[in-house]
Structure 1
Amino acid sequence: MVGYNIKNSSELASYINYTNLNNMITEGEMREFLEKAKELNFNSVVVSPTYVSLAKEVLDETDIKIGSVVGFPLGFEDGETKKAEAIALVESGADEIEMVLNLSHLKDEKYSLIEDEIKQIKEAIGDKTLKVIIETKALEDYEKANAAKAAEIAGADYVKTSTGFMTPNHIYENVNDINIFQKHAPKIKIEIFGGINDYKNANQIITAGADKLGSDQGYEIVKRYKDLRENTQVTPKPITLTKKD
Structure 2
Amino acid sequence: MNREDILKRVDHTLLSQTATWEEIQTICDDAICYGTASVCIPPSYVKRVKEYVGDRMAVCTVIGFPNGYNTTAVKAFETREALKEGADEIDMVVNLGDVREGNFEKVTEEIRTLKEICGDKILKVIIETCLLTEEEKVALCKAVTDAKADYIKTSTGFSKAGATFADVELFAAHVGPDVKIKAAGGISSFDDAEKFVSLGADRLGTSRLVKIIKAEKQA
TM-score (norm 2): 0.93
Shift of 1:191: 0.3
Contact 1:191 1:211 in 2 (8 A): yes
- Where relative contact order (Cα < 8 A, 6+ residues apart) is larger, the structure is 1
CA distance in 2: counterparts of 1:132 and 1:144, whole angstroms: 12
Structure-to-structure mapping, 1:10-21, within 5 angstroms: 10-21=4-15
CA distance in 2: counterparts of 1:81 and 1:54, whole angstroms: 22
Contact 1:199 1:222 in 2 (8 A): no
Corresponding residue to 1:194 among 175, 182, 185: 185
Q: Does 1:149 align with 2:142?
A: yes
Quote the residue 1:36 is aligned against. 30
Structure 2: runs of 5+ lacking an equivalent: none
Cα–Cα, structure 1 residues 222 and 209, in superposed 2: closer, same or farther, change >3 Å?
farther
Give the partner amino acid of 1:184: H
Moved more, 35-44 or 156-165: 35-44
Structure-to-structure mapping, 1:82-231, within 5 angstroms: 82-166=75-159, 168=161, 174-187=164-177, 188-223=179-214
Shift of 1:107: 0.6
Shift of 1:167: 5.3
CA distance in 1: counterparts of 2:160 and 2:53, whole angstroms: 29
CA distance in 2: counterparts of 1:168 and 1:105, whole angstroms: 21
Among the aligned pairs, what percent are the same residue? Answer: 34
Moved more, 98-107 or 176-185: 176-185
Structure 1: runs of 5+ lacking an equivalent: 232-245
Quote the residue 1:76 is aligned against. 69
Contact 1:167 1:194 in 2 (8 A): no
CA distance in 2: counterparts of 1:182 and 1:209, whole angstroms: 6
Shift of 1:38: 1.6
CA distance in 2: counterparts of 1:167 and 1:41, whole angstroms: 30
CA offsets 1:95-138 (integer angstroms, 9 cap, x no match): 11111000011111101101111111111121110011000011
Contact 1:192 1:213 in 2 (8 A): yes
CA distance in 2: counterparts of 1:131 and 1:10, whole angstroms: 23
Contact 1:167 1:195 in 2 (8 A): no
- After superposition, the CA RMSD in angstroms is 1.9
Shift of 1:68: 0.4
